[in-house]
C-alpha cells in the first residue's frame, strides 16, 4: 500500500511540473492561449507585419519597418533567406502548386515530380534561421463542394500528402495555404478535409471592410487562427470600367489614402486570432498595369503607397522631404473617368497638376492595354512608347494602330520617391 501511495504522489508531482519543463521547443509554431492564438518564434510571440513582394528589395522593406517578407518564387531561396537574415526579416515561403482545376494532378509522373521537388526544398531550407512558415499553394481554389468528384478527391488527397510530408520533414515551422477573400464554403472545406493545416491565410482587398462580420459569421464552424496574407488598395476587378472594359486606376496618392484607411480601420479585427498581415506588393508587379499594386518602381524608388505602408509598420508619421503628389491629370482636357476615344495619329495634349518639390523629373509614356491576359499566366508589361520628358504639359501624336492604350505620367524627385497616374483611351479608326 505504501508503495502504491508513493507511486501516486510521484505521479502527481510529475503532472504538476512547471511549464518550462514542458515548453515547446519548436522554432516557430502557433500556440493556443487562454485568449486565442499566438504565433511563437524562438520562444517569443511574433506578430507578422510585413509585405508580400520581391526579394530584390529586402533591404528597403526592412528599413521601412517590416519584420517579414512573403516570397512567391523558391528559385535561389538560400540567397533570399541569407539576405533576409542579414536585415532581420523573417521569410514566409510560398511552395508553388497548380490550381486543382488544372490537369496537372491527373498525371502520376507530375505528382511524383512535385513530391520530390517539395521534399528536396523542405530538407534543404528547413533549418535556416530566417524561415518563418511554408505556404502550400496560393489561391488553389480548394474544392468546396459538399460531395466531391474523383478529380477533387484526388487533389485533396495529394494536398494532404504534401502537407504531411512538410510537417514530418520540418516540424519546426507551420504550414498554411492561402484563399481569396472570406470564402465561407472554402474555409469550411479546408477545416473538414485538411484539418492539420496550422492556420489559414487570407488574401483580401476590397472585402476587408466587412472582414470582421464575415469571420464572425463563421465562428460556429471555424474559430481558428488566420493570417491576412495579402492586402492593399482595391484591385483591378473593381467596377470602374470604360466602354471597352478597361478598369480605371486611381492615382498613387489616392491608393495611398485607401491603404491608410485599411490599416487604421480594418486590420485589427480579431487580434487574438489574427497572426498578422502582409501588404501586397513590395516591388513592381504587372497586374492589369505595372503600377496598380506596385509599391516601388522597377529600380526601387518608393511611391506614396509605400510611404503609407511604412507609417503603418513604424507606427509613426514619417519625415519625408515633400514627396511629389499628383492633383490631377488630363488628356485632351478630360480625366480618367471619361471614355476618351481618339483617332489614329491625331494630335493630343496632356497635362499634369502636382505638388511637391520643384526639381522633379516628369516622364510620359503610352502603354498598350494588357487586356488579353490568359488565366494563370504571368503578366508582363505590354509594349510601351516613351514620350516627352520634363514637361508638365505635352503634345503628342496618337498611336497609328487601333486598340486600347493608357497614357502614363511619372514624377520623380531626388530622394528616391515617385508618384504616377494614368488615363485609359481608345484609338478608333
Cell numbers 491527373 correspond to what residue?
106
Mean pLDDT of the chain, nearest integer:
91
The residues pairing with 22 across neighbouring beta strands, listed in sequence order, are: none
- With 0-12 CB in 10 A as exposed, 13-18 as middle and 19+ as buried, what is 249? buried
Question: How high is the pLDDT of residue 375?
Answer: 64
Question: How high is the pLDDT of residue 146?
Answer: 80
Start and end residues for every CATH 3.20.20.80 domain found in the chain: 21-314
Question: How high is the pLDDT of residue 349?
Answer: 98
Question: How high is the pLDDT of residue 18?
Answer: 29
pLDDT tens digits, 353-367:
999 876 799 999 999
- For residues 319 and 53, give the distance between their C-alpha atoms in angstroms, rounded to a whole number: 24
Residues 6+ apart with CB under 8 A from 192: none
Confidence of residue 376 (pLDDT cuts 50, 70, 90): low
Question: How high is the pLDDT of residue 372?
Answer: 72
pLDDT tens digits, 81-122:
999 999 999 999 999 998 888 888 888 999 999 999 999 999
- For residues 7 and 402, give the distance between their C-alpha atoms in angstroms, rounded to a whole number: 89
Residues 6+ apart with CB under 8 A from 391: 362, 364
Average pLDDT over residues 273-283: 98
Query: Which class is 21-314 in CATH?
Result: alpha beta
Confidence of residue 14 (pLDDT cuts 50, 70, 90): very low
Average pLDDT over residues 241-253: 97
Neighbours of 417 (CB within 10 A): 24
Question: How high is the pLDDT of residue 1?
Answer: 46
pLDDT tens digits, 115-165:
999 999 999 999 999 999 999 999 999 998 888 888 888 999 999 999 999
> 325-427: CATH homologous superfamily?
Immunoglobulins (2.60.40.10)
β-pair type (68-71, 90-95): parallel
Does residue 242 register a pLDDT over 70? yes
Cell output for 120: 528536396
More confident residue, 14 or 365: 365
Average pLDDT over residues 270-283: 97
Question: How high is the pLDDT of residue 102?
Answer: 82
Find the range with the poorest average confidence among 91-100, 169-178, 280-289, 315-324: 315-324
- Which parts of 75-181 fold into alpha helices (H)? 77-86, 108-125, 150-169
Provide the whole-model pTM.
0.92
pLDDT tens digits, 32-66:
988 899 999 999 999 999 999 999 999 999 999 99
Cell output for 13: 508531482
> Which backbone phi and psi does 308 adopt, to 5 degrees?
-65, -45
Start and end residues for every CATH 2.60.40.10 domain found in the chain: 325-427
Number of helices and strands in the chain (H, E): 9, 19
- For residues 297 and 411, give the distance between their C-alpha atoms in angstroms, rounded to a whole number: 11
Question: How high is the pLDDT of residue 9?
Answer: 33
Does residue 4 register a pLDDT over 50? no
Residues 6+ apart with CB under 8 A from 154: 105, 106
pLDDT tens digits, 306-351:
999 999 999 877 777 788 999 999 999 999 999 999 999 999 999 9
Does residue 382 register a pLDDT over 70? yes
Amino acid at each position: 500500500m505504501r508503495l502504491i501511495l508513493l507511486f501516486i504522489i510521484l505521479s502527481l508531482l510529475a503532472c504538476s511540473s512547471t511549464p518550462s519543463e514542458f515548453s515547446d521547443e519548436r522554432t516557430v509554431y502557433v500556440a493556443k492561449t487562454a485568449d486565442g492564438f499566438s504565433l511563437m518564434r524562438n520562444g517569443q510571440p511574433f506578430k507578422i507585419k510585413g509585405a508580400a513582394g520581391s526579394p530584390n528589395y529586402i533591404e528597403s522593406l526592412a528599413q521601412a519597418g517590416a519584420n517579414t517578407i512573403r516570397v512567391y518564387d523558391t528559385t535561389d531561396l538560400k540567397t533570399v533567406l541569407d539576405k533576409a537574415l542579414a536585415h532581420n526579416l523573417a521569410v514566409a515561403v510560398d511552395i508553388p502548386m497548380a490550381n486543382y482545376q488544372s490537369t496537372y494532378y491527373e498525371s502520376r509522373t507530375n505528382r511524383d515530380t512535385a513530391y520530390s521537388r517539395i521534399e528536396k526544398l523542405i530538407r534543404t531550407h528547413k533549418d535556416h534561421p530566417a524561415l518563418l512558415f511554408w505556404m502550400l499553394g496560393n489561391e488553389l481554389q480548394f474544392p468546396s463542394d459538399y460531395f466531391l468528384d474523383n478529380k477533387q478527391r484526388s487533389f485533396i488527397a495529394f494536398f494532404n500528402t504534401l502537407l504531411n510530408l512538410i510537417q514530418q520533414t520540418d516540424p519546426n515551422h507551420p504550414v498554411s495555404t492561402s484563399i481569396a477573400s472570406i470564402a465561407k464554403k472554402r474555409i469550411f472545406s479546408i477545416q473538414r478535409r485538411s484539418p492539420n493545416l496550422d492556420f489559414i491565410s487570407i488574401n483580401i482587398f476590397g472585402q476587408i471592410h466587412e472582414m470582421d462580420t464575415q469571420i464572425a459569421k463563421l465562428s460556429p464552424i471555424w474559430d481558428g487562427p488566420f493570417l491576412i496574407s495579402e492586402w492593399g488598395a482595391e484591385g483591378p476587378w473593381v467596377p470602374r470600367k470604360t466602354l471597352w472594359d478597361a478598369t480605371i486606376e486611381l492615382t498613387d496618392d489616392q491608393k495611398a489614402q485607401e491603404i491608410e484607411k485599411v490599416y487604421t480601420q480594418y486590420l485589427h479585427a480579431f487580434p487574438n486570432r489574427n497572426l498578422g498581415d502582409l501588404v501586397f506588393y513590395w516591388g513592381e508587379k504587372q497586374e492589369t498595369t505595372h503600377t496598380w499594386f506596385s509599391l516601388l518602381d522597377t529600380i526601387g524608388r518608393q511611391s506614396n503607397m509605400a510611404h503609407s505602408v511604412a507609417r503603418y509598420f513604424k507606427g509613426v508619421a514619417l519625415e519625408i522631404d515633400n514627396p511629389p503628389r499628383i492633383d490631377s491629370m488630363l488628356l485632351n482636357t478630360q480625366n480618367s473617368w471619361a471614355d476618351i476615344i481618339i483617332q489614329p495619329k491625331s494630335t493630343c495634349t496632356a497635362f499634369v497638376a502636382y505638388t511637391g518639390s520643384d526639381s522633379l523629373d516628369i516622364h510620359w509614356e503610352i502603354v498598350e492595354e494588357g487586356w488579353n491576359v490568359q488565366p494563370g499566366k504571368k503578366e508582363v508589361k505590354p509594349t510601351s512608347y516613351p514620350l516627352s520628358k520634363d514637361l508638365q504639359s505635352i503634345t503628342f501624336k496618337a498611336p497609328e494602330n487601333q486598340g486600347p492604350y493608357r497614357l502614363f505620367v511619372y514624377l520623380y524627385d531626388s530622394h528616391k520617391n515617385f508618384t504616377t497616374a494614368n488615363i485609359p483611351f481608345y484609338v478608333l479608326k
